[in-house]
């Protein structure tokens, strides 16, 4: 479980791990779920609303997301290795929701921390994110969350961060990987947090 705010590099780190860890890993998470939603659920109080850098989730959204979490748990229970690229907007509350959904499935919780100034600068440089979201999420998504590993992604680059995670997985589950320097990878799936998100086609429809 890779948890971090906007601009923390979760997807890029996830892709790096996916390309280098032993075995076949699925990369899932909040962006994958958002791509499945009908456009009408964006900017709807019952769905998901982005305003002044704050993301608000309605009851309809949370109900569907709970079902998505159970689907992920089913994949894991069936033997799939899964990397989750997450933004725990509810922090400790969202961690509890994931723990309940995953049940007895073992999870290695990784916090990808990035200072508000660095996250904000990345957001401005990209120009495709909701303004103010990165700074707002830099601390809020980590409040009360318990981790097995925490990484300052404002200090370590993508390869160093992925190597630290790979080492932790090897120590815990004997999963090898990242034996060589792979270099940063550009995510092949664009973020669903991008501006104009409700009007975009899913990557597989392009």
Which residues are designated catalytic? Answer: 31
Q: Name the nearest CA neighbour of 28 among 107, 113, 119, 104.
A: 107
Residue 48: strand, helix, or coil: strand
Number of Cβ within a 10 Å radius of residue 93: 12
Contacts of range 193-201, beta carbons closer than 8 Å, 24 or more positions apart: 193/6, 193/31, 193/34, 193/50, 193/129, 193/130, 193/133, 194/128, 194/129, 195/128, 195/129, 195/130, 197/34, 197/42, 198/39, 198/42, 198/43, 199/39
The dihedral sign for the CA sequence 93, 87, 174, 149: negative
- The CA distance from 37 to 167, in Å, is 35
Number of Cβ within a 10 Å radius of residue 42: 17
- Could you tell me how far CA 66 lies from the centroid of its own chain? 16
């Amino acid at each position: 479980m890779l948890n971090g705010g906007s601009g923390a590099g979760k997807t890029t780190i996830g892709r790096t791990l996916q390309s280098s860890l032993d075995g076949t890993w699925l990369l899932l998470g909040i962006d994958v779920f958002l791509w499945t939603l009908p456009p009408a659920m964006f900017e709807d109080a019952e769905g998901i609303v982005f305003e002044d850098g704050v993301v608000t989730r309605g009851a309809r959204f949370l109900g569907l997301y709970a079902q998505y979490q159970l689907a992920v748990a089913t994949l894991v229970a069936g033997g799939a290795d899964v990397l989750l690229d997450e933004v725990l907007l509810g922090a400790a509350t969202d961690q509890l929701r994931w723990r309940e959904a995953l049940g007895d499935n073992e999870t290695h919780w990784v916090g990808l921390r990035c200072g508000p100034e660095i996250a904000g600068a990345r957001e401005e440089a990209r120009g495709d994110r909701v303004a103010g979201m990165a700074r707002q999420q830099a601390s809020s998504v980590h409040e009360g969350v318990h981790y097995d590993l925490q990484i300052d992604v404002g200090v370590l680059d993508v390869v160093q961060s992925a190597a630290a995670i790979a080492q932790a997985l090897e120590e815990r589950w004997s999963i090898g990987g990242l034996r060589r320097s792979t270099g940063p990878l550009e995510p092949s799936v664009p973020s669903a947090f991008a501006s104009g998100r409700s009007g975009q086609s899913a990557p597989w429809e392009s």
